Amino acid sequence: MSRQKPKLAVHKFSSCDGCQLALLNLGEPLLQLPTLVDIVHFAEAGPSDPTAKVDISLVEGSISTPEDVQRIQQVRENSEILVTVGACATAGGVQALANFANRNDWMSAVYTDPDQIETLQTSNAIAEYVKVDWELQGCPINSRQVIGLLRDLLSGVRPREELQPVCMECKRKGLICTLVSLGEPCMGPVTRAGCGALCPAAGRGCYGCYGPAEQVNDASLLQRFSQLGLDRQALARRFHFIVNQAPAFKAAGERLKSGSHDRNA
């Protein structure tokens, strides 16, 4: 990283902009940010210089068009450190649900003139096209994650990765387990912490928007959830949801759909 103020870019691909809002919602630290880095490109906030060479690029959104494919190569070339943020950039996003269907069929069902639309057959994670140095999971990510990541990168240390499941945050907050006390299926045990157990705090089960935890035991979860009235296909849909292309969730959903629950198969 250079010795002057490091340069920062925030790039957007196919996404809802919610993760960029995590930056704009930093609160007081947002005022510190310009004293620490030169924000050279962040279209949603003002600065626009998409081809600038930078020290850190934060990339939101998935790759879903041929133009995206070109642009991400350029972003990679221009960035010393490239960090993907959110479910779209790290795993194709909710829009990747269409990866399970035939895109052309959908296009002709939705648009009168689908030939006008230039799109890839699938929505994909950034890491399928270029090397990614770090990633922040979450849909959307939150400000606490951004501060931790930027601080660690600015200090030149390896960013801390969240490796615990949502259950650990849930218990630390003193929340009552929805699964055990309500019999409501919860994806917390297989989902990575970081959100602060938002959904259990509201009395409902987690639906996995922070992506796979370090351990994903879908076979055991299936056994439990089926006692609670949630069948194999329904559980498959919970894995194939917001973070459906993350390898661990994708594979779990496929095992469930096909009925093979042998984790080692």
Partner 1 sequence: MNSQDPQVVSRRPGFLTRDALEKLFIVLSQLGYQILGPVVRDGAIQFDTLSAADQLPRGVSNDQQPGHYRLEQGENQRQFDWNHGPQGLKPVCFSPREVLWAEQSNPPVFNPVPPNIEPTAVVGVRACDLAALAIQDRHFLSGSDPDPHYRQRRESLLLIGVDCARSAATCFCASTGDGPALDGGYDIGMAELDEGFLIWRESDKGRTVIDQLDLLPASDAQLETMLQSTTQASLAQQRNLPDCDELLLLYKRLEHAHWDNVAERCLSCGNCTAVCPTCFCYEASHEMSLDGETAQMVRQWDSCFSATHSSMGQYQVRPTVKQRYRQWLTHKLAGWQSQQGRIGCTGCGRCIAWCPVGIDLTAETVAVLEEGSLDV
| Residues 228-257, interacting with partner 1 (CB under 8 A) | none
176 near partner 1 (CB under 8 A): yes
188 near partner 1 (CB under 8 A): yes
127 near partner 1 (CB under 8 A): no
| Residues 204-223, interacting with partner 1 (CB under 8 A) | 213-215, 217, 219-221, 223
Per-residue interface string for the shown chain with ligand SF4, residues 180-199, x marking contact by CB under 6 A: ------x-xx-x---x-xxx
| Residue 203 interacts with which of ligand SF4, partner 1, none, CB < 5 to 8 Å by class | partner 1
Give whole-number Cα distances, 148 to 21, 143, 151, 251, in Å. 16, 9, 5, 30
| Residue 107 interacts with which of ligand SF4, partner 1, none, CB < 5 to 8 Å by class | none
According to CB under 6 A, which one of 56, 83, 170, 243 is a site residue for ligand SF4? 170
246 near ligand SF4 (CB under 6 A): no
14 near ligand SF4 (CB under 6 A): no
Question: 123 phi and psi, to 5 degrees?
Answer: -100, 130
Which amino acid is located at 56 in the chain?
I
| Residue 260 DSSP symbol | -
Cα pseudo-dihedral 130, 136, 138, 141, rounded to 10 = -120
4 near partner 1 (CB under 8 A): no
Question: How far is the C-alpha of 57 from the C-alpha of 9, rounded, in Å?
Answer: 5
Question: How far is the C-alpha of 190 from the C-alpha of 213, rounded, in Å?
Answer: 5
Residue pair 86/19 in contact by the 8 Å Cβ criterion: yes
H or E element that contains 82: strand 79-85
| List of residues contacting ligand SF4 (CB under 6 A) | 166-167, 170-171, 175, 177-179, 186, 188-189, 191, 195, 197-200, 205-210
